[in-house]
Amino acid sequence: MVPHLVTALTGPLLDLEEKIIAATPAIERWFRLEWQEHTPPFYASVDLRNAGYKLAPVDANLFPGGFHYLANEMLPLSVQAAMAAIDKYCPDARNLLLIPEIKPRHPTYFQGVARLMQIFRQTGLNVRFGSLDPSVTQPTPLALPDGNMLVVEPLVRSPNGRRLGLKDFDPCTILLNNDLSAGIPDILTNLHEQSLLPPLHAGWAIRRKSNHFNAYDEVAKKFGKLIGVDPWMVNPFHAKCGAVDLTTGEGQESLAASVDAVLAKIRKKYKEYGIKEKPFVIIKPDAGTYGKGVITIRDAAELKELSEEQRKRMTVIKDGKAVTDLNIQEGVPTFESIKEAFAEPVVYMIDRYVVGGFYRVHGEKGPDQNLNAPGSQFVPLAFAQQHAVPDVKAKPGTAAPNRFYVYGVVARLALLAASLEMERTDPDPEVY
């Protein structure tokens, strides 16, 4: 269970790591001040890529599954953070309604939902599960991989229509663990008396990656200034390309131009820092992916050579939503591997607190590919790796806790960006 980091990291990341650890009090104070101005998402997970020469978030998930992959022993951190979060939204809360995915993308998904129940029970909440699946018309038990089970129940609006709950269960807080890729169901709209967390516009029915990346640009810039590093060290270049349909070829030229532009920017940075890698970009839909419809491109010419299968995959996204806007993101190769499989760290946060993480590992993918794909496995960051307290005297690149602290800092940069993103995209901003 203890990931062995086979990569020997050298060069600028060590410099970045050193600077982050030396600046710990300044960084933590800066976060403290930022969280006075901005409300962190209720919970989030952030995928990081550690290239050795740079360390950057590549995705921020506001409906994190996979809490069961966090090391058991670190559960108290989640409980403590959840206490702080609940205090903020509904300090009197007695009941929490959790709305999970209907058709989970991962076979152990509901195990993570059960873990969330365990966490929130410890904060003093009765937790029950409501289903968005119209075929769930009565309490329905679901068997869990560990032999336990949980029961999902039909959602019910109160007689006056103002509240959402279950039969004989009136929650103060409704926690979504469903990213709403399929659109916003009517039953979730016009709820004004209860806290719906995260808010509806955090779901992929409304959310756009480009808004997140734009907010992250600002955060990375501030952070770079704070600790005296090039923001690029924590931030991949990105560009958005609208109205693309690869099955018809519509917008393909404009996409190729964007790809070329991003590759050129990367090449310049690689030259500046003497990095010998071959630049590449990741193209993904602007409206959420689940790891589908993500491709790696090293040259704009490759776009013409995409197979029909690949074009289709870039077009048909979850629940049949067609791609129109694409994001071109600088590819950050992962230099971390576990037993010869490439790995990327995923960091979990509740409120503004880092509560754990794991490595996503894929045996059949390369260092320049998306690892969030069928066949990926999860290795919990074991205890010694996981605790967030850096050893200021450890030599950079050697101490696992130091690395995890640094991961926690960069993940929180993405968390802060998500907070800005949510503020700016809020359709009903006066409630903030």
Which residues contribute to the site for a second copy (CB under 8 A)? 24-33, 36, 72-77, 79-81, 83-84, 86-87, 91-94, 118, 121-126, 352-353, 383-384, 386-390
CA–CA gap between residue 77 and residue 82 (Å, rounded): 8
DSSP state of 101: -
3-state secondary structure of 266: helix
In angstroms, what is the minimal distance from the CB of 187 to a second copy? 26
CA–CA gap between residue 64 and residue 370 (Å, rounded): 18
CA–CA gap between residue 54 and residue 198 (Å, rounded): 30
Nearest CB to a second copy, comparing residues 25 and 427: 25
CA–CA gap between residue 238 and residue 263 (Å, rounded): 10
Strand partners, 96: 127, 173
Pair of tokens at residue 190: 């016009």
CA–CA gap between residue 144 and residue 129 (Å, rounded): 14
In angstroms, what is the minimal distance from the CB of 141 to a second copy? 17
CA–CA gap between residue 260 and residue 281 (Å, rounded): 9
In angstroms, what is the minimal distance from the CB of 178 to a second copy? 23
Nearest CB to a second copy, comparing residues 93 and 297: 93
In angstroms, what is the minimal distance from the CB of 429 to a second copy? 23
Nearest CB to a second copy, comparing residues 156 and 388: 388
Find tokens 């702080």 and name the residue.
84
H or E element in which residue 374 lies: none
Strand partners, 141: 151
CA–CA gap between residue 65 and residue 67 (Å, rounded): 6
In angstroms, what is the minimal distance from the CB of 26 to a second copy? 7
Nearest CB to a second copy, comparing residues 163 and 387: 387
In angstroms, what is the minimal distance from the CB of 350 to a second copy? 10
The closest alpha carbon to 356, from 329, 387, 325, belongs to: 387
In angstroms, what is the minimal distance from the CB of 30 to a second copy? 7
DSSP state of 278: P
In angstroms, what is the minimal distance from the CB of 235 to a second copy? 22
Nearest CB to a second copy, comparing residues 121 and 163: 121
Burial class (CB in 10 A: 0-12, 13-18, 19+), 262: buried
Nearest CB to a second copy, comparing residues 24 and 140: 24
Pair of tokens at residue 351: 């409120």
Strand partners, 149: 143
In angstroms, what is the minimal distance from the CB of 125 to a second copy? 6
Nearest CB to a second copy, comparing residues 181 and 386: 386
3-state secondary structure of 156: strand
Nearest CB to a second copy, comparing residues 79 and 373: 79
Nearest CB to a second copy, comparing residues 7 and 122: 122
In angstroms, what is the minimal distance from the CB of 382 to a second copy? 10
> How do beta strands 173-177 and 326-330 pair?
unpaired
CA–CA gap between residue 14 and residue 395 (Å, rounded): 9
Nearest CB to a second copy, comparing residues 88 and 268: 88
Nearest CB to a second copy, comparing residues 83 and 144: 83
Strands (E) located in 132-172: 140-143, 149-154, 156-157, 164-165
In angstroms, what is the minimal distance from the CB of 292 to a second copy? 35
Phi, psi of 296 (to 5 degrees): -105, 130
Asked if the bond preceding 345 is cis, omega within 30° of 0, the reply is no
Pair of tokens at residue 291: 């790891």
